[in-house]
Homo-oligomer: A and B are copies of this chain.
Amino acid sequence: MNQIKVFSPATISNVACGFDVLGFPIYSIGDEMIVKKTKKKSLIITDITGYSVPYDINKNVSTIAAKAMIESLNPNCGFDFKINKKIIPGSGIGSSGSSAAASVYAINKLLDSPLNENELISFAMRGEVVSSISEHADNVSPAILGGIVMIKSLSPLEVIKLPTPKDLYCFVINPKIEIKTSFSRKILPNKVKLKDTTKQVSTFGSFIHALHTEDYELIGRSLNDYLIEKHRKKLIPLYDEVKSIAIKQGALGCSISGSGPSIFALTKGVEKANEINRLVTELYKTSGNDFSTYVSKISEKGVSTMSN
C-alpha cells in the first residue's frame, strides 16, 4: 500500500463533568486526508482544501505529529499529505486532534501497523500541543479509539475506553467565531474551591457508573460542570439560551464542547437531538453569527480508512 485516504472524526471533549479527561467522537463531521509514501525521506503537504491551515510542516499539527512518529520509527520513505480540512480550527470540536489522529493513523497503516493505539495517541498528542498550552489527550484519544474515552493519566499515558450506551446521540452547534484553546485556557483560574472539586469528582464518578449501568437518567444528573463552564460561557454568544432550549427539550445535559465556542447536548434517541437542532438553528439565525450544527450518534468508531 502506497497511499491511503482516511476520515478522522470531530470530537467533543470535557463533556461537562470531565474537564481534560473525557471525550467522544461525532461522525457527522471530520477531517479527510490522503497520505502517500514518497521516495524522499521527508514530509510535504502538497494540497490543503477546506479551512486554511499552514503548509509549513513545522506548523501544521498533522505533520508535527507525523514528524515525531517517523523520528521514532525511521522508515525508509517520506510522506506526502493532501488535507481536506473540514473542521474549522478553534471550533472546540477537536479540529487539531482530528488532523493529528488522521496523520498518525495513516502513516501507521502505510507502514504495516508497527504501533498500537496507545502509541498512536502519544504521537498524535505531540501534534496537539502546538494548538494548546499544555499536552492533552481528550480529543486525540476518542478520535483514534472511538467511543467514550477517559484519560486516566497523561504520564504515563493511560486511556480507558468506557461503555457507550446504545441510544446516546449528540447535538452540536459550532458558532463560527474562533476561540483559541490557548486563550480559553488562560481565562481559567489556577485554583478552584475544594467544595467544587468534591462536586466535580462525584458527578464524574456517577457518570462513569451511569455508563456501566446504562442509566440514562443518571447520565442526565451527572452531566454537570462546577469548574469551567462559568468562566468560558461568557465567550459564547447565546450560550444560556441554547442550553435552556436543550434542557427544555429533554436533553440529558448541555455544556461547552472542548474550549468552545461549540456547544453540545446529549440526548437519549435521535428525535430529541433533531428537535433541539431545529429550535437552536431558529434561535441562532437571529444572532448575526454564522454557524453550523450537527447531529450524530455517539459512535464506537474512531479514525478509519475511506475507500478512494
What residues of B have a CB within 8 angstroms of the CB of A190 in the complex? Answer: 193-194
Closest beta carbon of chain B to A77's beta carbon, Å: 38
Any chain B CB within 8 A of the CB of A192?
yes
Interface string of A17-53 (1 = CB under 8 A from B): 1111110000000000000000000000000000000
Whether B202 lies near A205 (C-beta < 8 A) is no
Q: Which of A17, A152, A189 has the most CB of B within 10 A?
A: A152
Interface window among A1-9, A95-103, A172-180, A206-214: A206-214
Verify if A120 is at the interface (C-beta below 8 Å from B).
Answer: no
Contacts of A287 in B (CB 8 A): none
Do A152 and B206 have beta carbons less than 8 Å apart?
Answer: yes
Q: Which of A188, A192, A218: most chain B CB closer than 10 A?
A: A192
- Type the 1/0 row for A179-223, where 1 means its CB is closer than 8 Å to any CB of B: 000000000111111100111111111111100100000100110
- A10 CB within 8 Å of chain B: no
Report whether A221 and B158 are in contact in the complex, using a CB–CB cutoff of 8 Å: yes
Give the interface size bracket for A toward B. Answer: 35 or more
Q: A150-B205, A152-B203, A191-B193 are in contact. List 4 more A-B contacts (CB 8 A).
A: A19-B201, A160-B218, A191-B191, A208-B212
Residues of chain B lying within 8 A (CB to CB) of residue A19: 197-198, 201
A150's partner among B21, B150, B202, B212 (CB-CB below 8 A) is B202
Bound-state Cα–Cα, A227 to B204, Å: 16
Chain B residue numbers with a CB within 8 Å of A76 are none
What is the CA–CA distance of A133 and B227 in the complex, to the nearest angstrom? Answer: 24
